[in-house]
Structure 1
Amino acid sequence: MRRLFTATVLLAVGLGAGYFAAQLQPGNHNGDTPTSVKPLYWTAPMDPDYRRDAPGKSPMGMDLIPVYDEAAETEQPGTVAISPTVVNNLGVRTAEVGLKALNPSIKTVGIVQYDEQQLEHLHPRVAGWIEQLFVQSTGDTVEQGQPLFSLYSPDLVYAQEDLLQAVNQENARLVKAAEARMRALKIPESLIRQVRSQRKVQQRVTFYAPKSGVLDNLNVREGFYVEPGLQLMSIATLDTVWVEAEIFAQQSQRVQVGLPVTMTLDYTSAREWAGSVDYIYPQLDQQNRSVRLRLRFTNPDATLKPGMYARVTIAQNQAPVLAVAKEAIIRTGNQNRAVLQLSPGQFKSVAVTLGASDQYYFEILDGLAAGDTVVTSAQFLLDSESSKSSDFLRMASTQARKATEKAVQSAAVMGQVNDVNPADKTVNISRGPIEKWNRPPATMDFTVADNIDFDLLMPGSNVHFVFEIRAGDFVITQVHPMAKMVEPTTQHEGHQHD
């Protein structure tokens, strides 16, 4: 009983799958058999590649299903017609193609850095020795006016003595010149006033922080001998920061200065910072083939610190464009396609050209029009069936496809005319072998194209002719009479089709 039950279930599943596959056959509309159109061939429900020229049984014992020339029922090759029941069972959903305001974004990563436009470097303008250092290490916070270091330098002592001498002489011109020299050496104004009021020279001059910020690049210690040009330290601010990021070269045309940018950190992903593109570097990284960007963010609470790794999203606002939902697009290595609903129950796979995209939509540059309805679910099965007889080949370029179609659908061959019927525009010819199709000699009927002169096809004459396969018919398109023909080993196959 268990084996009988299992066999019954398998048979039911097979019959159901066979019916389902039959409903997806191109040209088979709702299972109705056209009475006025002759089937092209019969195929097995479970194996579309199993074809026969007459009705019969499949290897699994099922009745073969007739397949009709869809050109007799529709002008669009590749149309798949299925019943409403199958559409419902497949869970087919559709969406309309229309104008959408895309917000395509570029995602990349970046490194937080100081805002170099607010970075101030401290250099000595005279040679001397660091007598005392009031700051300890890089990263220390300093306030404007805070003492940083004291310096002993003979040049600073000489500058004070010159001022003191000018003051003692009560020479206003010399006093003004001496003060200008001291300011040029960055001697603080407080020391200049002290020399004039106390008339006393200071051996050590203390220098103060010109601004508030964070100490960076502290390169000296007490006792160091310094000279002009040496960078003693830097003071940076964290009110605003830069983020250095890179994008691919092909994305650079989509980025402009001023575009809004959002940023998150892995360790504080709940928070998002808003900034903008501040600068696009003009040079291209030759090794990575990337373009460097400088992004600017405000940082009032100093959460962002140099060296932090950030995830960046560059937003782009565009005018409405023709777009379709992303799930409607079937993407392959050589072609992008969508399944177009021609009418209820009729579908066709079409090639599309894509433009920009965002999280939900693709821009459509070619292949679809506003108001078209496309399939957004179960489209892969429909695309597979439509592509078998559609007007494009998914793995070939346009030029290669045309060459392939021409090679497959036409042939040139020698033959001997047996019978001519001008009324029906047909002729019976015993043709020679067709090597490229691996077909032996045969005697068969051909249809004659309207541009062919029947006087060239006299019974008993030898001809060299070209024929094409059009909707299952063999149509002669060119004829060249021959004086004599080498006798082919004619194998009569009756009036059969290649």
Structure 2
Amino acid sequence: MNTKLKKIVNKPVALLIFGIAIGVLGGYLLFPSGAAKRGETTQGETAESTSEKEKKPLYWVAPMDAKYRRDQPGKSPMGMDLVPVYEDEISSQGRGKDYGEGAVSVAPHVINNLGVRTAIAKKSPLVHQINTLGVVQYDQDSIVHIHPRVAGWVEQLFVKAAGDQIKAEQPLYTLYSPELVNAQEEFLIALNRANVASTANAQASKNFPNNSLVKAAKARLSALHLSESFIERLTKSRQVQQNVTFYAPKSGVINNLKIREGFYVEPGNTLMSIGDLTSVWVEAQVLESDASYIATGNNVSMSLDFLAGQIWQGKVDYIYPTLRADNRTLRARLKFANPNEQLKPNMYAQVTIDATPSEPTVNVPLSAVIRTGLQDRVVLALGDGQFKSVAVRLGQVSGEQVAILDGLEAGLEAGDEVVISAQFLIDSESSVSSDFMRMSSMAGDTAATATVNGIVNAIAHADDDADVHAEEGNAQRIINISREAIEKWQRPATTMDFIAGENLDLSAVKSGDKVRFTFEIRAGDFVVTEITAIGTSEASQ
């Protein structure tokens, strides 16, 4: 009975095991690619993780100073995280190239974050434009001044106010003058004598106007500004005119009217002036710094507020030889045509003078120049993430462009790339002057030094950390100090690593001590040369 029972039980189990084996074999035969893919994926992931583990940084570098290198992550002297440098990045970023003293390297992501923009220096002549103000005036060359030739009284005045428009031969005023009356009588006497002498001789009658006495009397009338038409009427009427009317010699506008009816006038008095508005002068004042840019014949454009949008074109007519002492400006006389007589004297005008083009010079955008007060500088983009600040001498400024004079110490040339925004060589915590003083001292033979108080946080000796080495391979001692602010460099207080000098004794200094120390900047490293303990910090107590 037991033997039969065992056979009954074992038979289903054997069938179950056999069925599972058949199912596994069938699945493998039907879906062989899935297993292969799973195997490949596993192998790829393993290879990728292995490559990531094998890819190690060669060193860590300061984002803004390629010479500051460390063998482990940390902070740069400016408080920025050190950037890892891999072997495949050296060639692509050009960190193996030598761009000379003063060049700094900036990581690509820092350049992108700062929004650095550049422009190309170009060699071309600058067309300088001088913007100034001017006052519209009469064209003095076309003004006629009216003066009497005899003394007398103004009996009638035909113009009433300055600014009246008049036409040529229009009556201006009537004058009573005893001298004019006498001149007329002398002319009539000469005519009568010539007429009497001609009664006996008809031929002489025809020629009596040529008598010398008549000619002299007529010349005197002309000299007293009596017109030919007046003399002809006097010859025909043979009657003396007590009041003589004088007429306008030209068309124009009455200016500087100085008489009224009843005034007594005499030779030398200016009765009025007649100005011609078909052309006008504009007197402009040019700053002393712009005086060398203008010359006679330069083109000028002018606009006025009362006719917005309208532009008048003219020329520089004359440049006055002296400078005004009160405001240090040079006066320039500009001439404009005014056919419609829209321009009125004493109007204010906005004037733009096109200066004489300069000789071709190397020009950069004005935004590329960093002005420090003591010198002007431009940041060159050398390529491959390298930048260099150079001193320049500025020349003529025209709009948004400035000329760079010849004889530059840095050799800025046409085609060079200059930074026009986010000049990152000036870090956000320092002024322009202190930053460039620090850069100059790093590039020079004399190291920049500073003495300041601080608190020692840690001292790492060569025996404690075998990975801390100098670039030359010698062991270094690193002191982490929380220093106070450095006023002469305008640097805020911060915590940073310092390198102990070769001959510096650290036996009397320990973590937590208040110290007064002196350090130097040597090729981007901060090296402590002297250190003295002055107490213990409250935190360590």
Instruction: Identify the residue that residue 402 of structure 2 maps to in structure 1.
Output: 362
Structure 1 position 127 matched with structure 2 position 151: yes
Instruction: Identify the residue that residue 244 of structure 1 maps to in structure 2.
Output: 283
Is the partner of 2:341 in helix, strand or coil? coil
Instruction: Identify the residue that residue 198 of structure 1 maps to in structure 2.
Output: 237
Instruction: Identify the residue that residue 165 of structure 1 maps to in structure 2.
Output: 189
Cα distance change on mapping 1:259 and 1:188 into 2, 3 Å: same
Equivalent runs, 1:282-361 vs 2, <5 Å:
282-318=321-357, 319-361=359-401
Ranges in structure 2 where 5+ consecutive residues have no aligned partner? 1-59, 86-93, 195-207, 451-471, 475-499, 504-519, 534-541
Q: Residue 107 of structure 2: which of 83, 93, 103 is its match?
A: 83
Shift of residue 118 of structure 1? 0.8
Could you report, residue by residue, the CA deviation over 1:194-226 in whole angstroms, capped at 9, with x for unpaired residues?
122222211111100000000011111112111
Is the partner of 2:168 in helix, strand or coil? coil
> One-letter code of the match for 2:425?
D
Ranges in structure 1 where 5+ consecutive residues have no aligned partner? 1-21, 52-62, 411-423, 427-442, 447-467, 475-489, 492-498
Structure 2 contact 188–238 (Cα < 8 Å) conserved? yes
- Cα distance between partner residues in 1 of 2:300 and 2:501: 72
Is the partner of 2:101 in helix, strand or coil? coil
Structure 1 contact 24–80 (Cα < 8 Å) conserved? no
Shift of residue 116 of structure 1? 0.9
Instruction: Identify the residue that residue 105 of structure 1 maps to in structure 2.
Output: 129
Shift of residue 23 of structure 1? 8.2
Cα distance change on mapping 1:341 and 1:24 into 2, 3 Å: farther
Could you report, residue by residue, the CA deviation over 1:61-88 in whole angstroms, capped at 9, with x for unpaired residues?
xx77799xx9996353332323334434
Q: Residue 249 of structure 2: which of 182, 191, 210 is its match?
A: 210
> One-letter code of the match for 1:322?
V
Instruction: Identify the residue that residue 169 of structure 2 maps to in structure 1.
Output: 145
Structure 1 position 269 matched with structure 2 position 308: yes
- Cα distance between partner residues in 2 of 1:193 and 1:163: 12
Equivalent runs, 1:38-77 vs 2, <5 Å:
43=75, 48-49=77-78, 74-77=98-101
Q: Give the number of the structure whose alpha-carbon radius of gyration is greater.
A: 2
> One-letter code of the match for 1:174?
L
- Cα distance between partner residues in 2 of 1:132 and 1:360: 62
Task: Give the RMSD, CA atoms, in angstroms.
Answer: 4.2
Instruction: Identify the residue that residue 259 of structure 1 maps to in structure 2.
Output: 298
Cα distance change on mapping 1:167 and 1:24 into 2, 3 Å: farther
Could you report, residue by residue, the CA deviation over 1:133-177 in whole angstroms, capped at 9, with x for unpaired residues?
111111100000001111110000111111111112226111111
> One-letter code of the match for 2:367?
E
> One-letter code of the match for 2:172?
L
Shift of residue 128 of structure 1? 0.7
> One-letter code of the match for 1:120?
V
Structure 1 contact 78–386 (Cα < 8 Å) conserved? no
Shift of residue 49 of structure 1? 4.4
> One-letter code of the match for 1:346?
Q
Q: Residue 63 of structure 2: which of 25, 30, 40 is its match?
A: 25
Shift of residue 469 of structure 1? 8.0
Cα distance change on mapping 1:210 and 1:401 into 2, 3 Å: farther
Could you report, residue by residue, the CA deviation over 1:270-308 in whole angstroms, capped at 9, with x for unpaired residues?
011111111111222112111111111111111110110
Is the partner of 2:292 in helix, strand or coil? helix
> One-letter code of the match for 1:347?
F
More helix by share: 2
Q: Percent identity, please.
A: 46
- Cα distance between partner residues in 2 of 1:154 and 1:336: 79
Cα distance change on mapping 1:332 and 1:301 into 2, 3 Å: farther
Structure 1 contact 338–350 (Cα < 8 Å) conserved? yes
- Cα distance between partner residues in 1 of 2:62 and 2:316: 52
- Cα distance between partner residues in 1 of 2:447 and 2:84: 28
- Cα distance between partner residues in 2 of 1:152 and 1:401: 92
- Cα distance between partner residues in 2 of 1:105 and 1:296: 18
- Cα distance between partner residues in 2 of 1:342 and 1:244: 49
Give TM-score scaled by structure 1 length.
0.67
Structure 1 contact 349–387 (Cα < 8 Å) conserved? no
- Cα distance between partner residues in 1 of 2:181 and 2:377: 83
Structure 2 contact 139–279 (Cα < 8 Å) conserved? yes
> One-letter code of the match for 2:183?
A
- Cα distance between partner residues in 2 of 1:43 and 1:148: 93
Q: Residue 117 of structure 1: which of 141, 149, 164 is its match?
A: 141
Equivalent runs, 1:451-470 vs 2, <5 Å:
none
Structure 1 position 235 matched with structure 2 position 274: yes
How many correspondences in the alignment? 384
Is the partner of 2:308 in helix, strand or coil? strand
Shift of residue 103 of structure 1? 1.6
Is the partner of 1:138 in helix, strand or coil? coil
> One-letter code of the match for 1:131?
E
Is the partner of 2:311 in helix, strand or coil? strand
Structure 1 contact 334–395 (Cα < 8 Å) conserved? no
Cα distance change on mapping 1:24 and 1:213 into 2, 3 Å: farther
Shift of residue 252 of structure 1? 1.3
Is the partner of 2:310 in helix, strand or coil? strand
Shift of residue 90 of structure 1? 3.5
Shift of residue 375 of structure 1? 2.1
Structure 1 contact 78–387 (Cα < 8 Å) conserved? no
Cα distance change on mapping 1:444 and 1:82 into 2, 3 Å: closer
> One-letter code of the match for 1:43?
K
Cα distance change on mapping 1:114 and 1:41 into 2, 3 Å: farther
> One-letter code of the match for 1:27?
D
> One-letter code of the match for 1:25?
P
Greater mean deviation of Cα atoms: 210-219 or 260-269: 260-269
